[in-house]
Chains A and B, each alone.
Chain A
Amino acid sequence: MAFFLETLIGGLMAGMLYSLVALGFVLIYKASGVFNFAQGAMVLFAALAMARFSEWIPKWTGLDNLIVANLIAFAIAGVLMFVVAWLIERLVLRHLVNQEGATLLMATLGIAYFLEGLGQTLFGSDIYKIDIGMPKDPIFMLESVFPGGILVNKEDVIAAGIAAALVILLSVFFQKTTTGRALRAVADDHQAAQSIGIPLNRIWVIVWCVAGIVALVAGMIWGSKLGVQFSLTTIALRALPVVILGGLTSVPGAILGGLIIGVGEKLSEVYLGPYVGGGIEIWFAYVLALVFLLFRPQGLFGEKIIDRV
C-alpha cells in the first residue's frame, strides 16, 4: 500500500512536469492555431541559454552569489526567448497565414531543427548543469501510518509547486488583464478579433513569448533534474499524449491530462511492466491517450469540432 502511494505521488509529480511542457503547446495552439512541434527545441534552447549564462555570468562579472547569477541568467534567457518569438512571428508565421494544418506543422518542425542547431552552435553540445539550489534529498512522509514512511522527492515537490504557481499566474493573466482578454479573443476567432482591432501579429509574438517563458521554466526544472543535453527535446514527445488527452485548446485539460498520464505511466511501468518485459512507459502514455480519445475524440476538455456540409 505504501509502495502504491509512493508510485502514485511520484506519478502525480511527473505529471505536473509533463503538463508544464504541454502548457506551451496548448497556449500556442489556442492563440495561433499552430501545433508547435518546436516546443521541445524551445525547451532545449531556453535551458541551454540559462545553463550557459549562469556559468558565464560569474566568470564575466565576478559575481559569487549563485542565486543572483541564476536570476540574471533567467532574465537573459527570457529576453532571448522573446527575441526568438519575435523572429519566428516575423519570418515564419506572418508568411504562412491561412495555410493548412499539415504545412504549419511541418514549418514548426523545420523551426525545431533550426533551433536545435542554433542552440548547440551558440551554447555548445556538452551536458550542462543547471543548479538552482533544488534539494536532491528525499523526505519521508506519513512515517506514523506506514513503517518507514513514503518516499517523496523534495525536488519533485518544489517542481510541482513551481508548475502550479505558473498555471495560476497564467490563469490570472488570461482572465484579468486586457492582453489576456485579447489572447482569448484571438483564440476564439481570428477574423473577429482582427475586425475589432486586435493586432494579430503582436498577439502572436506575445503568445510565442509566453510559451517560450513556459518552455524556459520547464527546461530549468527538467534540466536541473536530468542535466541540459540534446535529449531534452524528447521531453516534448513525452508530453504530446498529455496535450491530446486534455484537449488541444484547454489549459485545465493540460493539467488534468498531465496528472492522468503521469500516474498512468508510473503505475503501468511498475505493475504491468514486469509482465511484458519493461520499458512500456512511453507507448503506454500514447495508448492511454488513444483510449480516452475513442470516448472523447477531442480530448477531455477540447473544443468539439463541428463539421458542417
Chain B
Amino acid sequence: MLYRENGQFKTTYRADQQIFPITQDRIAIGLILLMAFIGVPLMASDYLYASILIPLVIMSLAAIGVNILVGYCGQISLGSGAFMAVGAYGAYNFFVRIPGLPLIPAVILGGLCAMAFGILFGLPSLRVKGLYLAVATLAAQFFSDWMFLRIKWLTNDSASGSVSVSQLQVFGLPIQSPVAKYLFCLALLVVMALLAKNLVRGAIGREWMAIRDMDVAAAVIGIRPMYAKLSAFAVSSFIIGMAGALWAFVHLGSWEPAAFSVEISFRLLFMVIIGGLGSIMGGFFGAAFIVVLPIALNRFLPAFMGIFGIEISTAGVSHAELMIFGGLIVWFLIVEPHGLARLWSMGKQKLRLWPFPH
C-alpha cells in the first residue's frame, strides 16, 4: 500500500538508471543518512562510538571490499587481514616519512599499497580456482604476518612491529574526538560505498559477475579473465586497504602485526556470507551482525545466566561466547544461506504487497 512504484514514471534514461528509482527508497535513504550524520552524534555516548559505531563503519567498508571479491567475482579469499595490514602499515609509512601528511592522502596511499599487494597475491587466481584458491590466499595472510614482524624498514625500525600514530588532521581540522572520528569514517564509507555500487552496476561489475557464474563461458564470449579477476583483486584490496588504514589510524591508534591476524580474515568472510554474497547492502548488515554480536553477548550473557542462578566466570563467559557465536553462525546459515540481504529484499517484497498476503 505504501511501498508501490505506481505513478512513478521515468522520462529519461538517467532517471531510469538511478540507484534508488523508487521515491520511497530515496526518502528512506535520506532519512537513514540524516540519522547517521546528525541523529547519532546527538545521542551516542563516547563508549558507543569506540565499541560499536566506529568499528561498525570501518568493518562495513572492509566488508564491501571483500564482497566485491568474493560475492561479485566469486574468488574466495582468506587473505583480507593481510590486505588490511598492508593498507595500515603502508599508510603509516607515508604518514611518518612525509611530515604533516593529511589523513585522506595517507589512507588513499595505504589503499594503493594494498592494491599492489592484492594484485600480486591475486595472480594465482588466474590458474587456481575454488577452495584451492581460498587456501592459497592464506599464503598472503601468513606472509604479511611475517613481513611486518621481521622486515624492520616497514615498521620504521620498531622492535616488535608495533607502531602508533597521533595528530590526525583533515583539511586542518583535528580528528581527535570520537564524534570527529565517527563522522570522518562515515563520510569515507558513504563515498566508497557509492563508488563501489556504481562499479558493480557498470560494465566491469558485469564482467565480474560473469566470471563468478561461469568463467569458461565468460572467456568464450570475450571477457578476459585476467583483467576481470585482477581488477576485482585490485579494487577489493584497495577498499580493504583503506579500511585497514582507517582501522589502525582512527580506531586503534597504535597497533602491532597481530592486530591483523587470520582471525580478522575469518571475521570478514563471516560478515560477507551472513550479510549476503553479491550485495553492497549485505556488507552493512553482515558487519552490523558480527560487530554487535560479541558485545551483546558480553553484556547480556552473565545477566541471562543469572536468571537461572548459574554463576559464570569470565573464562566461562568467553567460552560460552565462542559457542554461541559458532552456533548462531551455523543456525543462520541453515535458516538463510543467502544472508541478511536476502531477508531484507524478501521483506521489501512483502511490503510491496502489504496489506495483502500475495
Chain A contact residues, CB within 8 Å of chain B: 35, 91-92, 95-96, 99-103, 105-107, 109-118, 120-121, 125, 237, 240-241, 243-244, 248, 276-280, 282-283, 286-287, 289-290, 293-294, 297-299, 302, 305, 307-309
Contact = CB atoms under 8 A, between A and B. Distances in A.
B328 to A, nearest CB: 8
A305 B133 CA distance: 13
Interface in B112-129: 124, 127-129
Contact of B330 (A107, A237, A302, A308): A107
Interface in B208-257: 214-217, 220
B206 interface: no
10 contacts: A102-B70, A102-B273, A113-B323, A114-B322, A117-B323, A244-B135, A277-B150, A287-B143, A293-B128, A297-B132
A283 B145 CA distance: 9
Residue among A92, A286, A298 with most chain B CB within 10 A:
A286
Contacts of B214: 309
B42 interface: no
Contact of B319 (A121, A248, A293, A309): A121
B146 A294 contact: no
Nearest to B322: A117
Residue among B129, B130, B320, B322 with most chain A CB within 10 A:
B322
Contact of A305 (B130, B138, B315): B130
Given A244-B132, A305-B130, A278 B150 contact: yes
B150 A283 contact: no
B270 interface: yes
A170 B324 CA distance: 35
Contact of B329 (A106, A283, A294, A302): A106
A113 B322 contact: yes
A290 B139 contact: yes
A226 B332 CA distance: 36
Contacts of A105: 76, 131, 134
Given A35-B131, A293-B124, A283 B270 contact: no
A92 B146 contact: no
* Size category of the binding interface on chain B: 35 or more
Contacts of B269: 102, 106, 109
Contacts of A114: 322-323, 325-327, 330
Nearest to B126: A294
Contact of A279 (B128, B149, B315): B149
Nearest to A109: B266
Interface in B192-209: none
Given A289-B136, A309-B220, A110 B326 contact: yes
B340 to A, nearest CB: 14
- 5 closest A-B pairs by CB: A113-B326, A117-B322, A114-B326, A110-B329, A117-B323
A89 B89 CA distance: 43
A301 to B, nearest CB: 13
Contact of A109 (B70, B129, B130, B270): B270
Contacts of B134: 35, 105
B277 interface: yes
Given A244-B135, A279-B149, A286-B136, A107 B333 contact: yes
Given A117-B319, A283-B143, A111 B326 contact: yes
B132 A286 contact: no
A125 B319 contact: yes
Given A107-B330, A125-B319, A282 B142 contact: yes
A100 B128 CA distance: 18
Contact of B320 (A121, A287, A308): A121
Nearest to A302: B132
Contacts of A248: 131-132
B78 to A, nearest CB: 9
A103 B273 CA distance: 7
Nearest to B335: A95
A297 B124 CA distance: 9
Given A103-B273, A121-B316, A309 B330 contact: no
A257 B65 CA distance: 33
A279 B147 CA distance: 10
Given A102-B76, A289-B135, A307-B215, 14 more contacts: A35-B131, A96-B333, A99-B333, A100-B337, A101-B76, A107-B333, A109-B329, A277-B150, A280-B146, A286-B136, A286-B142, A287-B143, A298-B132, A309-B214
Given A102-B277, A103-B337, A125 B326 contact: no
